[in-house]
């Protein structure tokens, strides 16, 4: 039996208006990625990437998405992501861009990277805290699933999200 190798893209979807994230669904992200591949690589790129392309994980609160594609053609997906300029939902276009945070061979490596990335983001938020109450909140709730501060939501413990 042959094992199919994949690559996992951990992406941050950054919207002009952060409130636009609330409607984000995996089918909208999948359609935008597929359209970007067709736009940049044509039918050949679409047929190469379509076999194993899937949105494995999407968190609308943090704007984090995990995309899976075949190992042989991951460069096509990687080169198409910068061409995504909007996500569409119910005939409304929301301007955004994809920031690729990590490319890995397993979900586990992407998960480890996401935990480290979120810890760094929380440390940056802790430095920006102005009152003692804010500092106490962040220090006393290290395993909070989602912390909101200054309108930005960060995922702290993504282990729960990846378990199915």
pLDDT bucket at 127, cuts 50 / 70 / 90? confident
Q: How far is the C-alpha of 97 from the C-alpha of 86, rounded, in Å?
A: 7
* Residue 147 covered by a domain: no
Q: How far is the C-alpha of 54 from the C-alpha of 9, rounded, in Å?
A: 11
| Residues 148, 102, 29: CA angle, nearest 5 degrees | 70
* Residue 55 covered by a domain: yes
* Residue 86 covered by a domain: yes
* Residue 16 covered by a domain: yes
Q: For residue 101, what are the domain limits?
A: 6-140
Q: What is the pLDDT of residues 92-123, one digit of tens each?
A: 899 999 999 999 999 999 999 999 998 888 88
pLDDT bucket at 139, cuts 50 / 70 / 90? low
* Residue 82 covered by a domain: yes
* Residue 1 covered by a domain: no
**pLDDT of amino acid 51:** 86
Q: Which residues contact 130 (CB under 8 A, 6 or more apart)?
A: none
**Number of neighbouring beta carbons within 10 Å of residue 95:** 12
* Residue 97 covered by a domain: yes
Task: Supply the CATH number for residue 93's domain.
Answer: 3.30.70.3250
- Domain count for the chain, please give it: 1
* pTM score, whole prediction: 0.76
Q: Give the pLDDT mean for 134-163.
A: 50
Transcribe 30-50 into DSSP letters: HHHHHHHHHHHHHHHHHHHHT
Q: How far is the C-alpha of 20 from the C-alpha of 58, rounded, in Å?
A: 14
* Residue 158 covered by a domain: no
């Amino acid at each position: 039996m042959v094992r199919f190798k994949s690559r996992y893209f951990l992406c941050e979807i950054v919207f002009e208006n952060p409130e636009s994230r609330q409607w984000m669904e995996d089918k909208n992200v999948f359609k935008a990625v597929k359209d970007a591949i067709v736009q940049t690589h044509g039918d050949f790129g679409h047929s190469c990437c379509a076999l194993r392309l899937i949105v494995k994980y999407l968190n609308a609160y943090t704007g984090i998405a995990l995309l899976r594609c075949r190992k042989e053609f991951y460069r096509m997906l990687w080169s198409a992501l910068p061409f995504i300029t909007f996500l569409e939902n119910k005939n409304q276009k929301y301007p955004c861009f994809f920031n690729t945070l990590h490319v890995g061979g397993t979900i586990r490596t992407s998960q480890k990277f996401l935990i480290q990335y979120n810890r760094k983001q929380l440390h940056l938020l802790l430095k920006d805290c102005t009152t003692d109450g804010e500092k106490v909140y962040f220090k006393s709730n290290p395993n909070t699933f989602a912390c909101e501060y200054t309108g930005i939501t960060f995922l702290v413990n993504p282990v729960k999200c990846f378990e199915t």
